[in-house]
Chains A and B, each alone.
Chain A
């Protein structure tokens, strides 16, 4: 198929008007025979599964997002932890700084205390000295000035403008220094001078003799309300000192207006350990959800703490968490979005392909059973029409009998233009050079263009190439649009390939089927015997197709003694195996039918030739028109039907049934004998004639019986047709054997020249004579014939075998019997014995003639129905 695509493209007669379909890329070729594995997977993926697939993918994205979220949260917690650690580090640092600062203050004061003016307690100069110190060394620290208290606690000098006469002996720092003679830093206290929170650093002073002379103090003004300058605030912020506070030994917030720590529990906690932090606690100044970190100043035994609201402290972590979560969310959203878009797109594709796939599989199905070009064309057309709803679709296939061209369309208002056979043929021819698109406006196609009222502008055609690469037909679409999409070309090509394969198959099939049917027929009798008084007609109809021939058969054997043996059988199974078994059984039947008159005996013998795995149903019928009997035996076979054409009565020969051959034991096989009507029709058949799926076999048997009753001279063809129209066509093989029995003018039989056949022959003759109205004379006639037979046996052959021909018939009221032998007449010496037989014949019959010829002797006996008074010799 495909290899011709590109070549064919170049063959367009008029390039300007012939547009080649898009060349395909990749390994797939035009007319690829089936979808790719991926396509198959997609096409075959059930909707529910696809839905699940989408759901799982979405869940996977969500799970990934969740994991990312968890990691982000973890990171957030780590960031929080880091922020708190940071606080810890800072408070420790600040604690150290505070130590250094206070120590520096102490050092400054101690150095000052050693100054002569302090040692000598020259209070007059002392104040100006202290002012000088305050302005140079102490200024930065002792914001509330430096002062000296004498040993009694009276303020002796100060760096302030005035030195009020006050006694500060009650202050802790005075008492401590007086007692310990060591430097001391007070807790926060309200300064006497400023009335503001102050911390006082105090060192002892000594006189020249080393006696305690007083206390030198440096006061640090705590000014909590003073807002830091913007630059300071920024610096604090940058250094992370926001919320820095100092807690004195009394639990007062040095930087918080000497307020006490709001929560005693928190204070206790802080007091307990030199460093640490508390999260989610109330703030030092109240509130909730604060983080407080602290360190201890060793010199002062004060706590340095940073107290930050969590919201503020964790702001950065939260920001980054938010950022992370937002990023994850956005990423997941984008992924979901992309996936959704992809899924939707693929769903659309799947739906589209699903439609194609449905049409495709329908096509495959219908093509699988198509065995003729017409069926293929029909199947292709239906599928093409389903997919290309905007086109007039044409499918053309060559068959043995000519062209099968089909046209249809889903276009509204479309109807087939009458008399467009030639146009269709033209379209069919145009497909041969495809795949291609041809403009209908082309000069030589103008007629076509007009035929569709100018509505259709272009013809798109793909050829259907047979196994030899020759166009065996094609598919054409006539559309209003000028071009087909590449996917549509693909589909068309695939349809064409499917059709091509089906066409090859159908051709091979036809051939094989022909062969098979011929084989089957060759196994059936080429011609049926001509029995006097019996018209035989057989038909075999291959119900199946292809090489699936069946194992149905019929056969008829006319024995020399005038007995007709009929058989019909059905080997279960199909194919060559069944046909072979059938052939074998037929031979077996023929062999035994000669040897055994009894149908049951024939069937019993046939059982011997059935292998273990075989099963055969068969019915054997023995017809003796001489004796006027019918003997039958059935092994699992539908009953033969016997019609008495005079009474119209139908008899089912179902009185002697046994299991099928292969199941039955010889002892099971029985036979039944009934009288054979003078005028009768007998039908032997296989179940394919009367059995239909979902129907009782009775329906079919009755239809056959009706056909037999209603049609005198029923032929097998007519029987098949009548039964078929009553119960539907058969898919199964049918073998049918019809016997029409009429009183024959003459009956001829060959008998072995052996005395042993005589009793049977007499019996048959008696029955025949009675049926033919010679009942009264029967003993005499039988005796006469016997004598003639005796002569033939004894004289002609002398017991050496050979056969005797007995020919008898009634003409009018005259019975005539010929007894002929082919032996040499032996002229024995005349004797009384010899004469008696002859004399009996002459006496018993009206006329006796003996014709002695070199090749045999014929004795002719004649007798009238009503005899003239016999001239019986007197005794």
Chain B
């Protein structure tokens, strides 16, 4: 039973940057998430980070998202995080009381609206 590989995929949809993350987000991988998210170009309205395929997320991942939200906010870019409530990762946001602050939504579609 090997750990699912960490994967990042970025794509643009109009003025929205979509970053799909898979695998485990920890100390080792969270900097990559930060980098991918903050790579949103000027003029981008929103960054959607899809964590549906993430199996593990710890405080470094949370910190990465919080930091990104702050720097994106400074550039006028919104952050939305997709994490289904039945998913293991969702609980981490809840415990950290970051569900609202980080714009955590249930679905990708919700994140687009």
Contacts and interface: CB of A to CB of B under 8 A. Distances in A.
Interface residues of B, number: 24
A141 B62 CA distance: 179
B88 interface: yes
Given A836-B96, A839-B95, A844-B95, A790 B60 contact: yes
Nearest to A874: B97
A759 B1 CA distance: 12
A794 B67 CA distance: 17
B3 interface: yes
Nearest to B30: A755
Contacts, number: 68
A760 B28 CA distance: 12
Contacts of B94: 872, 875
Given A756-B28, A763-B1, A763-B3, A790 B59 contact: yes
Nearest to B27: A755
B24 interface: yes
A837 B97 contact: no
B108 interface: no
B66 interface: yes
A840 B59 contact: yes
Interface in B10-26: 24, 26
A832 B2 CA distance: 33
A875 B97 contact: yes
Contacts of A787: 58-59
Contacts of B59: 787, 790, 833, 836-837, 840
A759 B97 contact: no
Nearest to B26: A758
Interface string B25-51: 011100000000000000000000000
Given A782-B56, A790-B60, A875 B99 contact: yes
Given A793-B27, A833-B63, A839-B95, A759 B58 contact: no
A755 B92 contact: no
The interface centre, meaning the residue of A780, A833, A839 with most chain B CB atoms within 10 A of its CB, is A833
A755 B26 contact: yes
Given A755-B27, A779-B88, A790-B27, A762 B56 contact: yes
Nearest to A759: B3
B97 A873 contact: yes
A758 B27 contact: yes
A755 B97 contact: no
A783 interface: yes
B3 A832 contact: no
B96 A783 contact: no
A786 B97 contact: no
Interface residues on A, range: 20 to 34
B58 A790 contact: yes
A767 interface: yes
A234 to B, nearest CB: 140
Contacts of B66: 832-833
A843 interface: yes
Interface string A615-627: 0000000000000
Nearest to A789: B27
B1 to A, nearest CB: 7
Contacts of B67: 833
A382 B67 CA distance: 96
Contacts of A762: 3, 24, 56
Nearest to A767: B1
Interface string A853-875: 00000000000000000001101
A783 B92 contact: yes
A398 to B, nearest CB: 67
A783 B62 CA distance: 12
Give 4 nearest A-B pairs by CB, closest first: A755-B28, A837-B59, A755-B27, A836-B59
25 contacts: A755-B27, A755-B28, A759-B24, A759-B26, A759-B28, A762-B3, A762-B56, A780-B91, A783-B58, A787-B59, A790-B26, A790-B27, A790-B58, A793-B27, A833-B63, A833-B66, A833-B67, A836-B62, A837-B58, A840-B59, A840-B96, A872-B95, A873-B95, A875-B94, A875-B100
Interface of A: 755-756, 758-760, 762-763, 767, 779-780, 782-783, 786-787, 790, 793-794, 832-833, 836-837, 839-840, 843-844, 872-873, 875
Interface of B: 1-3, 24, 26-28, 56, 58-60, 62-63, 66-67, 88, 91-92, 94-97, 99-100
Given A760-B3, A790-B59, A837-B59, 12 more contacts: A758-B26, A759-B24, A759-B28, A762-B56, A779-B91, A790-B26, A832-B66, A833-B63, A836-B62, A836-B96, A872-B94, A873-B95
